[in-house]
Amino acid sequence: MKWTIGKKLALLGSLMLAALGIMGVVTYTNIGRVIENSTALSRTFSVIDANNAIAPNLFSAESAQRSYLLSGSPAYLQQYRESVDKTRTALSHLHELASNEESAQLTNELEDMLNSRLSSLEMGITMYDKHTLDEYVQLIKDGVGIELMKKVSQNRDAIDTLERHLAQQRAMELTASNQFAQAFILWGTLLTVSTMAAAAVFLVRSISNPLHELTDTANRISKGDLSQRSTSITKRSDEIGILSEAFEQMNDYLQRMSNVARALADNDLSVDSSPLSEKDALGHSFAAMTANFRKMIAEVKDAAKQMSGSSAQIAALTSQLAASSTETAAAVSETSTTLEEIKVTANQVNQKSAFVSESARSTAQMTQNGQKSVNETLTGMNKIREQMNFIAESIVRLSEQSMAIGEIISSVGDLASQSNLLAVNASIEAAKAGEHGKGFAVVAQEVRSLAEQSKESTEQIRRILNDIQKAISSAVMATEQGGKTVEISVLQSAETDNAIQVIGQGAGGTVQAAAQILASTNEQVAGINQVAIAMDNIRSASDQIVISMRQAEDATSSLNQMSSKLWSLIERFKVN
């Protein structure tokens, strides 16, 4: 059985308790007796008091009753009632307190006597109220009350004596028991105190020294010194030993935590810092810290990797950019040279367009002249047309007249044919007349030949007329043709006029266009000059860009170096 401190303490305690218990019991019984005695004593005194209380109250009641009977004042009645009550109360009190048979008996007798006395008093009051006081006075005179009162006081005295005797007895008993208790308590206390002191000293020593050591250990631990161990105490089997073991464990725990911290300080994040229990605050914190650290390191590793990748990319890009900006600078200078050529060409174009403008203007002038000539031609044509019309009119008149001649000729022809017919008829008649008609036949023949001649003449005239008609018609045709030709010429002149107008417009348009071309080529030349200037600016700007690119390249390479340095720093952390 391990004598743990608790058990030791328990033993000590139980011993103490036992001693205390005994003492207590003894004292208790003693005190009980004392109390008994005291109670009995006090009761006796109470009996005496009660006994003594009865008489004044009774007398007061009597006095009050008498006063009332004498005065009839209700105040006396009141006093009487109060006194009666007090008496009865004291009596009942006495009843209660009566301890033994004797006193009880005496008390009963007293009660009877009091009752009779009180009833007589009461009777007196009643009689007063009924106004039959004289009877009562008679009674009083009879001396009933005096005897009763004597008996009452005798009884009372007996009770008193008895009680005093009892009291004395009891007091003696009380003193004896008190003395006994006193002695017992004294010796018992002495014994207990000595024993307890010894045990306490022993126990204290066995507790407080190790506790001191443990306190020192705790102080050391609180100061961070985890090195020392107190093994002697640990070997004990009691609570101190357990406590010391617990301290050892705490030490171990703290040592472990410090190892973990040391490992973390040495960049070893793979150390196991899992908490020992749910309530291991430090372990949790360390675990959280290591986890966070690992996560952070992992993220930083990623970031560093990305950064090194990006910085490598940037380095590549800047070198590309440097190369391309050099190319751009070369291209810009080429463009600048080309611009110079373009400038020269533009100047040439400008000159040519000035020349074109000039020739367009002269063309316009010439078209105007042409137009004038065409107008003159038109006027001439119109005159010709008028003449043609005149000729046509004349011819028409001629034709009309020839037609008139034709009509006349036809009528003459008619005449001739009729004459012919007549001549034929005449010759027929002449033939019918035979011989006599021969002369007439000759005449008829002559008439006929005349008619023939006329006919021939008419034929000739007709032929001439036909010729004239033909000539007229040919003339008309010629005139018509001439008119047509004139018309055609007029049309052509109009067309020519139109054409010349168109040419004129075109020439005007050409002049305008040439002027515009000239203006625009001027602008072009100006613009090209500006472009040349801009090109120079671009060239200088691209040179600057090249320089800046070189600088950027340097900056990127240093960035690259730094990122690799960061990477190497991060790499030192061992994560799993």
Partner 1 sequence: MNLLSPEEKQKILQDRARQLASAPAYQQDEHECIDITRFELHGEHYAFESRYIREIVPVNHVTPLPCVPVFVAGIMNLRGRILSLLHLDRLLGLASAGQVPMQQVIILSNDRMEFGLLVEQISGVGQLPLSKIQDELPTLSDQAQRYLRGLTPDRQILLDAQLLLNDPALCVDEEIN
Min dist CB 438 to partner 1, Å, is 11
Decide if 107 contacts 55 (C-beta within 8 A). no
Min dist CB 422 to partner 1, Å, is 9
Binding piece for partner 1, criterion CB under 8 A, among 184-192, 230-238, 317-325, 414-422: 414-422
Q: How far apart are CA 47 and CA 95, in angstroms?
A: 9
Position 213: which residue type?
A: E
- Report the residue number, 451 or 559, with the smaller CB distance to partner 1: 451
Residue 417 interacts with partner 1 (CB under 8 A)? yes
- Report the residue number, 79 or 427, with the smaller CB distance to partner 1: 427
Residue 425 interacts with partner 1 (CB under 8 A)? yes
- Report the residue number, 197 or 431, with the smaller CB distance to partner 1: 431
> Pick from 418, 529, 530, 548: which binds partner 1 (CB under 8 A)?
418
Binding piece for partner 1, criterion CB under 8 A, among 12-20, 134-142, 148-156, 422-430: 422-430
- Report the residue number, 427 or 493, with the smaller CB distance to partner 1: 427
Residue 378 is inside which H or E element, if any? helix 281-433
Min dist CB 434 to partner 1, Å, is 10
Residue 420 interacts with partner 1 (CB under 8 A)? yes
Q: How far apart are CA 547 and CA 305, in angstroms?
A: 30
Task: Name beta bridge partners: 268.
Answer: 574
Residue 458 interacts with partner 1 (CB under 8 A)? no
> Pick from 87, 427, 458, 469: which binds partner 1 (CB under 8 A)?
427
9-22 per-residue burial string, b: 16 or more CB within 10 A, e: under 16: eeebeeebeebbee
Binding piece for partner 1, criterion CB under 8 A, among 196-204, 314-322, 323-331, 416-424: 416-424
Binding piece for partner 1, criterion CB under 8 A, among 141-149, 237-245, 380-388, 418-426: 418-426
Backbone angles phi, psi at 268, to 5 degrees: -95, 100
Cβ-based neighbours of 498, under 8 Å, separated by 6 or more: none
- Report the residue number, 422 or 494, with the smaller CB distance to partner 1: 422
Decide if 131 contacts 85 (C-beta within 8 A). no
* R_g of the chain computed on alpha carbons: 88
Cβ-based neighbours of 68, under 8 Å, separated by 6 or more: 74, 76, 77, 80, 125, 128
Min dist CB 485 to partner 1, Å, is 39
Decide if 350 contacts 524 (C-beta within 8 A). yes
Q: How far apart are CA 524 and CA 531, in angstroms?
A: 10
- Interface map 74-93 toward partner 1 (x if CB under 8 A): --------------------
- Report the residue number, 43 or 448, with the smaller CB distance to partner 1: 448
- Report the residue number, 350 or 427, with the smaller CB distance to partner 1: 427
> Pick from 191, 296, 396, 431: which binds partner 1 (CB under 8 A)?
431
Residue 428 interacts with partner 1 (CB under 8 A)? yes
Ramachandran area for residue 147 (φ above 0: left; ψ -120 to 50: alpha; else beta)? alpha
Residue 474 interacts with partner 1 (CB under 8 A)? no
Binding piece for partner 1, criterion CB under 8 A, among 29-37, 150-158, 415-423, 493-501: 415-423
End-to-end CA distance of the chain: 50
Closest by CA position to 511, among listed 370, 353, 369: 353
Min dist CB 424 to partner 1, Å, is 5
Residue 448 interacts with partner 1 (CB under 8 A)? yes
Decide if 518 contacts 354 (C-beta within 8 A). yes
Q: How far apart are CA 457 and CA 450, in angstroms?
A: 10
3-state SS of 449-479 is HHHHHHHHHHHHHHHHHHHHHHHHHHHHHHH
| Alpha helix ranges (H) inside 143-273 | 144-222, 231-234, 239-265
- Report the residue number, 170 or 448, with the smaller CB distance to partner 1: 448
> Pick from 341, 432, 435, 576: which binds partner 1 (CB under 8 A)?
432
Binding piece for partner 1, criterion CB under 8 A, among 216-224, 413-421, 459-467, 469-477: 413-421
Residue 424 interacts with partner 1 (CB under 8 A)? yes
Q: Which residues bind partner 1 (CB under 8 A)?
A: 417-418, 420-421, 424-425, 427-428, 431-432, 448
